[in-house]
Structure 1
Amino acid sequence: MKRPLLILLAVIISNLHVLSFHIVGGEMELVHIDGYRYNLNLIQYFDRAQTSNPGPDFSVLVYIFRNSDNTLIRTETLTLTTEEAVLYTNPECAIGSLATSRVFYSAEITLEPEIFNEPEGYYISWERCCRNTSISNIVNPGGQGMTYTLEFPPVFKDGKQFINSSPQLFPPLSDYACVNQTYYTDFAGTDADGDSIAYSLQLPYNSSSQVALPIPQPKPFLELIYANGTDINNIIPGNPALGITSSGFLTVNPTFTGLYVFSVLVEEFRNKEKIGELRRDFQMLVLDGCDPPTPPNAEVRLPGETEFYNEIDIINYSAAEEKCFEYLVVDNAGENVTLKAEGVNFDEEVSDIFEFSSGPINASGDTLRVEVCISDCPYLASEPYIIDLIASDNACPLPQRDTVRMIFNVEAPPNTKPFYDSPSSATTLVRSQPEGVSVALDELLIGKDNDLDSLRFFFYAEDYDPVAYGMSLDTVLDTKGEKRVNFNWNTSCQNFPFGDRNTFDLGIVLEDYDTCSFDSGDTLFYELEVVLPPNTSPQLDGPEALYNRQIKSSLNFDVSTTDADNDPITLSAFGNGFNLSNVGISFVGGLENGVIESPFAWELSCANLNITQTTSYSIFFVTEDQDFCEETNADTLEVVVNVVVPANNKPEFEIDDFYSLNINEEFVLDVIANDGDNSDLLTLDLLSVNSAPPSEGFSFERSTGSGRVSSTLTWTPECALLGENYATESYTVDFLVFDDNCPNIESQSISVTFEVSELAVDYGQFVPPNAFTPNGDGHNDTYTLSNLTDQIYNLPPDNCADQFQSIIIFDRTGSKIFQSSSREFVWTGNGADAGTYYFQIDYLNTDYKGTITLVR
């Protein structure tokens, strides 16, 4: 065995620092279970060589989008189920620094037909950041992430269920590549539905951000940015560069060491129409220092020939000739050589044509000689067929191979076709049978073969199973060269689903068991019909085909269905691309005999609808009867509801944008706004909390109103709001009004400037009263200097420069008989005799003195 130079590899790998991040590739799968249930799987290829890497996540969250408009449908959580090692092609080539495991996440999900029915299909995505920092072919690999995607078709299409599973790919091998050595692997997978699969190289997708787990974003996806001259045609530089065939065979002969990332696009086709795709991301490690491989050399020598076989020649064998020849392999002494045969233009397994499948080259290095004998029966009946004879050794990192391609034209052993003796297969037989009978059609079907080969009859039907519809072939006579059967048919609806299908194109094939089992026979064709009992279809009634309704209105109508046969009938409804209850629709439907009536109710509110996405909704009402034969007799009615969004007028303010205020004087303003639509609910408030001025005397409350809204602003400015030396200052207050006219809510704001000034006071205009009469007659009974009718009798107001401090009243002797620091003081004169008294009124900067006469 050729092993790599491990000492040199250890040095190379320590310098590369490869696989510093734990996820090195992966893909997604969607596998049908039954009905509308699926397994959704995400597969990661996980670096297990670096023990410092964290373990796999316990779960992953994937997002499902709609292809037509990239709308998010929903999310699904997949949980970790298994983790297993990915094997080397040759385990003896393993190196400790390259070990990969396959991590499998899965969840069972339901794809409801009323949601997943859009012809353009859907896609699933999952994102992760970031990639291995040692990747050679992208810019800033530590800052570029990965997006896994899978596209799938609708589950309900053309009026019926559309079943599909995505292709399932074989796990990649945990191999490395070597400089100037051919690397190859089969990336192809299988498709459970028999769909065609095409493979191509693509640039991998980046993640949408550099956070560890970005929220998956809809299309378009970002591609990685390639570096160092690499691109889609040169992802891994080589001679040749990395490439893949349409059938999934990947090859490269790399010219430089490094760690390379690439993506394989897997497209799925049915009836030549693309129905889905997925991508597999993977990394490839390219090393240097591997032993130069010596591939085996394989040749073929035909009996009686001295020269080796020329691969363009066609070998012709008659039916009677022996079909054996010599296969010779030369390789290094001690190499173990494995032999394999593959059909090129046919699908049958042919490896058993070798005398043995593997063996070593002996110590003397002699040629390995193997006898090869091909079958007497040709693999293709009417044309040459091609076989590749492949010799592989056990070199590292991958086996080296040599292939001899041989072309054969083999004469088949003679055989005459069997034939129908009765009835004749020359014309198509037409048969109609009433429902409920069990009969033998045409009594006996008689087949014969002149070679006296054994015979068999079997059904041929393209899109149904005849046995599932009561048909059987029951043997009456079976001898060499002749076989007789009865073609029996049970047409009972109680046993078979003739309600689903009652006409059948059927072939009954007669075939012989000849030596080579070639398709050789005669076919009897029938056109069959089961005549079902009369049945009328149920009829839907009630709603109109089109409704136009304004947003914030309601839609109500009754849906009824009747069946003239009084069969049990069902009534149901579903939305085209949406769930009825999710948009606020109430509809029950049901199952009754003969008649069903069910109310439909829909509140077209902004909370229920996403008007920015669509304003048109299609709703399908379906009724079907359950007659004796369960015949599909359905009536369907489509109702289209267009949601009308009327134009919305902006609300307007009814206030000015400038007002003047004085310190210590209360200012009152009714802030008013109205709406041209009259019916909208308006909300009035400050634009933000920072809109209020820095004043304890400021007050304004949020308010609402229909069509018109107001709220009162009150403000008694403080001196602290003035500038230096009590200079006038301006303050801007921002008000906001908005309506509730969803989905197009309108708003308006206004900036109002308030100019705050010092209060101008004429202290010379103050004339205090000089007498009062406390005699209890209710007139002038107390002495006060506030709230008097004549303004000149009231104390001058305070401003920022001068404020009231106190009043003191003295008698003639100078004794203090009354004192107060309140502007609202009241002197009753209690205990004072009639006469003249003296007062002193003090402000910060102004004083008043005078006399008061107390008259009793």
Structure 2
Amino acid sequence: MRKLLLILTLALLSQTPVIGFHIVGGEIELIHISGNKYQLHLIQYFDKAQIDNPGPDPSVEIYIFRNSDHTLVQTHVLLLDTELIVPYTNPDCAIGSLQTSRVLYSADISLNADTYNEIEGYYASWERCCRNTNISNIVNPGGQGITYTLDFPAVVRNGKPFINSSPQLFPPLSDYACVNQTYYTNFAGTDPDGDSIAYSLQLPYNSSSQAALPIPQPKPFIELIYANGSNINNIIPGSPSLQITPSGYLTVTPTATGLYVFSVLVEEYRNKEKIGELRRDFQMLVIDGCEPPTPPHAEVRLPGEKDYYIEGEVIHYSASADKCFEYMVVDQAGENVTFKAEGVNFDEDVSEVFEFSSGPINPSGDTLRVEVCISDCPYIQHEPYIIDLIASDNACPLPQRDTVRMTINVEAPVNNKPYFDSPSSSIRLSRTQPEGLSVALDELLIGKDAEDSLHYFFYAEGYDPINYGMSLDTILDVLGEKQVKFNWNTSCQTYPFGDKNTFELGIVLEDYDTCLFDSGDTLFYDLEVVLPPNTTPQISGPSSTYTKSIRSNLDFNVMATDDDNDPISLTAIGDSFSFPQVGISFANQKGTGQVSSLFAWELSCENLNIEETTTFTLYFMAEDDDYCQATNNDTLAVTIQVQVPANTTPAFEIEDFYSLQINKPFELEVIARDGDNADLLTLDLLSPNSAPSSESFSFSRATGTNTVSSTLNWTPECSLLGEGNTPKTYPVDFLVFDDNCPQFESASLTVNFEISELDVDYGHFLPPNAFSPNNDGHNDTYTLTHLEEEMHNLPPDNCADQFQSIIIFDRNGSTIFKSTNREFEWTGDGADVGVYFYQIEYQNTNYKGTLTLVR
């Protein structure tokens, strides 16, 4: 029947859509190795049945953030380490469409105390897109991704290492669930540090984008969007729906087929304080068409009884009675039944009560009978204990079970309690011993018992007496009596009495009775080692508060003294920052009786990287090393407020528009000022492209304190005009910025320069008509430029009419002088006194006249 049902189930599954993506769940782990060394793991549960999907990625990258401000601290690349198939509870129940492997990525990392010291802790995250397209309980599953997270504590607390590894979860089983059948599994894990773990259901996290490998983002994370009717109380529809106990036992009786995704939150506690958490994502496949299971039926019949045992009745056994009975199981023929015993109100292993661990139901379907024998020693003294006798078959997809819960009261064998004969245990003893002695407390401890051998041991909370020089040395050991001496070495050079010098101690006398019950006697001591006097070192020098401006310096001397002249150490640390990180110079020092060190801080922008007033707290610590290794210290907290003053933005003192004419020199002093008198200003063009394409444009970068200026010189060329020599505007971008760190301020100004044609009055030109080259220093040459009277100078060139030449000729028409340079000078050399003629030519304008040469 089982094989026929499996074939039918596979046929049904072959008609369902293929799962669209290969990752079905996973989590992040952080495992402490030694010191600051850790292993960082990312575990993926990989869908091996989807042959069209790629294999696991060769590596993943995990991001670590601070919880306090969600700032990225580090990233780590983890390489693919191993891939192992996750087994079914019953391999005979395997189906081809459900096969899961456990893929492990790993990297060795360092979590340094200078970096990972914030009390709020840190979190690691990794993202992936996308989820299986046929997930039933979320909207648009192909468009929703995956985020795995792990919260972990700082690696130091109160200046001491805080060692912690995250919980390690068991691999989930490759099992499927069936409609209207109870699914169960132990989803719990273990904690390497012995921390407490609590489990709860949560909605899984989505990825931050639909990229294949999104860059992990800080908190808050985005939850998946669940489909109608699905929520945290109904992740998998069922009666009951999916739920998990605080101890990690997962159950559901589903009422609908589908593929369902869920997340289990795993919270880690130490001394009732939550120190971390992780999430495991996983998927559950629910199918229909499973054979309705027939669970086994178990009964117990006591010897000599006709009726079966009724749960709740208490079975009483005397110490000498035979404690065996018959355990009977009825199930389908051919089933193999396994047996297991579990304590209900006690924690001991009780697997030995079954003589056989498993047995078959024969083809005739006969009742399977197994003898069960209970221990002669009760698991709980003086009251009944409860034990579950469980029968499990090999049904698919999960074993079906039946349990007989029995309440049993076993009379313990008679045992006389041991007792102290000397000294009397009814007296609480107090002993004070000077440091440095090795003594026997209470000459002899004598313990007695009527019939058993004896042994002694220490009882102490929070310390090991052996580590403080305490020992029990045997003097006599015979049946019924044992004598020991309680010796104590109080040398503080050998034992750490400087850390602890008072002790509450119990010395327990116990017998070796048949059942090894706790039936001893205890002798209680209050002990103290009197240590030599030791004064606490004192710190002096710095004030408790300082207020400094950024870009200043802070220096002071720190001194520690010890009146006992003990060796002394002087150290300092920053609260959530390291000294080198912010540019602080301070050397830890050691000395005898007195030690000092210089604290120096250059409060530069480069060192601090702050943009607003910020408070820094640092601690100076002095600790002496006295004879008894006592921990005596002094701590001085210093608070330094680094002020970042407001910064005034520099401003330009020029207009934003100027008119220029072609060939006419233009000069502009560009000025900018700053209200902060100490700021160094820099003035420049905003970019090299800010200068127009003109050979005559000239402007240089300049600097100045409070005020800065630089001169712009420009004689525009005709090429700068628009089409048809029309005016054209050129924007020029200027920039001024200050050096007032950390908040640098700047300003820019766009100045528009309109370039237009030069307006020339050619009729205003009246050339001089005589000159006297007689070397008397007056009118010795004939020129038409740089003359005192403006009308005597050549008209300026514009783009439409420019100077071409000047020709001077005599009455016969012979050329005496010619020049194409408007800066010409005619000296009259070789020319006679008399009247000459000139002709001045522009492109479009000509001038003619006479010129008299006088000697």
TM-score under structure 2 length normalisation: 0.92
The answer (yes or no) to whether the contact 1:2–1:293 under 8 Å persists in 2 is no
Deviates more, 1:431-440 or 1:136-145: 136-145
| Counterpart-to-counterpart distance in 2, 1:808 and 1:256 | 112
Q: Report the counterpart of residue 394 of structure 2 in structure 1.
A: 394
Q: Report the counterpart of residue 12 of structure 1 in structure 2.
A: 13
| Counterpart-to-counterpart distance in 2, 1:321 and 1:245 | 40
1:332 positional shift: 2.4
Q: Provide, for residues 694-714 of structure 1, a one-character-per-residue CA deviation record: whole Å limited to 9, x for no partner.
A: 656544444332222223233
Taking structure 1 as reference, are residues 798 and 310 closer, same or farther at Cα in structure 2, changes over 3 Å only?
farther
Q: Report the counterpart of residue 177 of structure 1 in structure 2.
A: 177
Deviates more, 1:610-619 or 1:755-764: 610-619
Taking structure 1 as reference, are residues 454 and 790 closer, same or farther at Cα in structure 2, changes over 3 Å only?
same
Residue 607 of structure 1 aligns to a residue whose secondary structure is: helix
Q: Provide, for residues 157-178 of structure 1, a one-character-per-residue CA deviation record: whole Å limited to 9, x for no partner.
A: 3564443332221222233334
Deviates more, 1:512-521 or 1:461-470: 512-521
Residue 643 of structure 1 aligns to a residue whose secondary structure is: strand
| Counterpart-to-counterpart distance in 2, 1:686 and 1:605 | 28
The answer (yes or no) to whether the contact 1:42–1:106 under 8 Å persists in 2 is no
Q: Report the counterpart of residue 139 of structure 1 in structure 2.
A: 139
Q: Report the counterpart of residue 346 of structure 2 in structure 1.
A: 346
Taking structure 1 as reference, are residues 286 and 780 closer, same or farther at Cα in structure 2, changes over 3 Å only?
farther
Taking structure 1 as reference, are residues 132 and 774 closer, same or farther at Cα in structure 2, changes over 3 Å only?
farther
The answer (yes or no) to whether the contact 1:338–1:393 under 8 Å persists in 2 is yes
AA in 1 matched with 2:757: E
| Counterpart-to-counterpart distance in 2, 1:686 and 1:679 | 23
Q: Provide, for residues 330-374 of structure 1, a one-character-per-residue CA deviation record: whole Å limited to 9, x for no partner.
A: 222222222112222221111221121112221222222212222
| Counterpart-to-counterpart distance in 2, 1:7 and 1:796 | 110
Q: Report the counterpart of residue 223 of structure 1 in structure 2.
A: 223
Residue 352 of structure 2 aligns to a residue whose secondary structure is: helix
Q: Report the counterpart of residue 164 of structure 2 in structure 1.
A: 164
Taking structure 1 as reference, are residues 812 and 635 closer, same or farther at Cα in structure 2, changes over 3 Å only?
same
Deviates more, 1:467-476 or 1:779-788: 779-788
| Counterpart-to-counterpart distance in 1, 2:78 and 2:595 | 42
| Counterpart-to-counterpart distance in 1, 2:820 and 2:7 | 102
| Counterpart-to-counterpart distance in 2, 1:702 and 1:236 | 72
Deviates more, 1:499-508 or 1:789-798: 789-798
The answer (yes or no) to whether the contact 1:237–1:255 under 8 Å persists in 2 is yes
Taking structure 1 as reference, are residues 533 and 602 closer, same or farther at Cα in structure 2, changes over 3 Å only?
same
| Counterpart-to-counterpart distance in 2, 1:7 and 1:820 | 114
Deviates more, 1:91-100 or 1:631-640: 91-100
Q: Report the counterpart of residue 294 of structure 1 in structure 2.
A: 294
Q: Report the counterpart of residue 29 of structure 2 in structure 1.
A: 29
Q: Report the counterpart of residue 464 of structure 1 in structure 2.
A: 463
| Counterpart-to-counterpart distance in 1, 2:530 and 2:772 | 123
Q: Report the counterpart of residue 127 of structure 1 in structure 2.
A: 127
1:509 maps to 2:469: no
1:292 positional shift: 4.1
| Counterpart-to-counterpart distance in 2, 1:595 and 1:460 | 43
Q: How does 1:603-614 map to 2 (within 5 A)?
A: 603-612=602-611
1:413 positional shift: 2.8
AA in 2 matched with 1:105: S
Q: Report the counterpart of residue 110 of structure 2 in structure 1.
A: 109
1:10 positional shift: 6.7
| Counterpart-to-counterpart distance in 1, 2:639 and 2:282 | 47
| Counterpart-to-counterpart distance in 1, 2:645 and 2:746 | 16
AA in 2 matched with 1:552: R
Residue 606 of structure 2 aligns to a residue whose secondary structure is: coil
The answer (yes or no) to whether the contact 1:2–1:394 under 8 Å persists in 2 is no
Residue 16 of structure 1 aligns to a residue whose secondary structure is: coil
AA in 2 matched with 1:596: V
Q: Report the counterpart of residue 790 of structure 2 in structure 1.
A: 791
Q: Report the counterpart of residue 454 of structure 2 in structure 1.
A: 455
Q: Report the counterpart of residue 590 of structure 1 in structure 2.
A: 589
1:71 positional shift: 3.5
Q: Report the counterpart of residue 434 of structure 1 in structure 2.
A: 434
| Counterpart-to-counterpart distance in 2, 1:111 and 1:78 | 19
Taking structure 1 as reference, are residues 413 and 656 closer, same or farther at Cα in structure 2, changes over 3 Å only?
same
Taking structure 1 as reference, are residues 176 and 77 closer, same or farther at Cα in structure 2, changes over 3 Å only?
same
1:529 positional shift: 1.7
The answer (yes or no) to whether the contact 1:546–1:639 under 8 Å persists in 2 is yes
1:783 positional shift: 4.2
Q: How does 1:509-658 map to 2 (within 5 A)?
A: 509-612=508-611, 615-658=614-657
Taking structure 1 as reference, are residues 168 and 536 closer, same or farther at Cα in structure 2, changes over 3 Å only?
same
In the alignment, structure 2 segments of 5+ residues that lack a partner are none
AA in 2 matched with 1:636: T
1:817 positional shift: 6.3
1:805 positional shift: 4.0
| Counterpart-to-counterpart distance in 2, 1:6 and 1:690 | 78
The answer (yes or no) to whether the contact 1:455–1:510 under 8 Å persists in 2 is yes
The answer (yes or no) to whether the contact 2:203–2:232 under 8 Å persists in 1 is yes
| Counterpart-to-counterpart distance in 2, 1:81 and 1:660 | 75
Residue 276 of structure 2 aligns to a residue whose secondary structure is: strand
Q: Provide, for residues 384-404 of structure 1, a one-character-per-residue CA deviation record: whole Å limited to 9, x for no partner.
A: 332222222223333233333
The answer (yes or no) to whether the contact 1:5–1:291 under 8 Å persists in 2 is no
1:468 positional shift: 1.5
Residue 608 of structure 1 aligns to a residue whose secondary structure is: helix
Deviates more, 1:72-81 or 1:25-34: 72-81
Q: Provide, for residues 300-336 of structure 1, a one-character-per-residue CA deviation record: whole Å limited to 9, x for no partner.
A: 3333444443334443434343333322222222222
The answer (yes or no) to whether the contact 1:624–1:633 under 8 Å persists in 2 is yes
Q: Report the counterpart of residue 328 of structure 1 in structure 2.
A: 328
Taking structure 1 as reference, are residues 546 and 369 closer, same or farther at Cα in structure 2, changes over 3 Å only?
same
Q: Report the counterpart of residue 155 of structure 2 in structure 1.
A: 155
| Counterpart-to-counterpart distance in 2, 1:689 and 1:250 | 70
| Counterpart-to-counterpart distance in 1, 2:818 and 2:388 | 126
AA in 1 matched with 2:579: L
Q: Report the counterpart of residue 419 of structure 1 in structure 2.
A: 419
1:138 positional shift: 2.8
The answer (yes or no) to whether the contact 1:20–1:134 under 8 Å persists in 2 is no
In the alignment, structure 1 segments of 5+ residues that lack a partner are none
Taking structure 1 as reference, are residues 761 and 172 closer, same or farther at Cα in structure 2, changes over 3 Å only?
same
| Counterpart-to-counterpart distance in 1, 2:848 and 2:13 | 106
Q: Report the counterpart of residue 69 of structure 1 in structure 2.
A: 69
Taking structure 1 as reference, are residues 830 and 13 closer, same or farther at Cα in structure 2, changes over 3 Å only?
farther
Q: How does 1:753-772 map to 2 (within 5 A)?
A: 753-772=752-771
| Counterpart-to-counterpart distance in 1, 2:454 and 2:585 | 63
AA in 1 matched with 2:260: Y
| Counterpart-to-counterpart distance in 2, 1:263 and 1:91 | 26
Q: Report the counterpart of residue 843 of structure 1 in structure 2.
A: 842
Deviates more, 1:467-476 or 1:386-395: 386-395
1:784 positional shift: 3.8
| Counterpart-to-counterpart distance in 2, 1:143 and 1:682 | 53
RMSD after superposition: 3.0
Q: How does 1:722-733 map to 2 (within 5 A)?
A: 722-723=721-722, 725-733=724-732
Deviates more, 1:757-766 or 1:228-237: 228-237
1:13 positional shift: 5.5
Deviates more, 1:722-731 or 1:279-288: 722-731
Identity of aligned residues (%): 70
1:128 positional shift: 3.3
Taking structure 1 as reference, are residues 215 and 419 closer, same or farther at Cα in structure 2, changes over 3 Å only?
same
Q: Provide, for residues 431-490 of structure 1, a one-character-per-residue CA deviation record: whole Å limited to 9, x for no partner.
A: 12222322221122111223x122221111111111122211122222222222111222
| Counterpart-to-counterpart distance in 2, 1:419 and 1:194 | 35
Tell me the matched-pair count: 853
1:834 positional shift: 6.0
Q: How does 1:672-821 map to 2 (within 5 A)?
A: 672-687=671-686, 691-692=690-691, 697-719=696-718, 721-723=720-722, 725-773=724-772, 779-809=778-808, 820-821=819-820
TM-score under structure 1 length normalisation: 0.92
The answer (yes or no) to whether the contact 1:587–1:601 under 8 Å persists in 2 is yes
The answer (yes or no) to whether the contact 1:9–1:287 under 8 Å persists in 2 is no
Deviates more, 1:734-743 or 1:260-269: 734-743
Q: Provide, for residues 764-797 of structure 1, a one-character-per-residue CA deviation record: whole Å limited to 9, x for no partner.
A: 1122334455566665454443333332233322
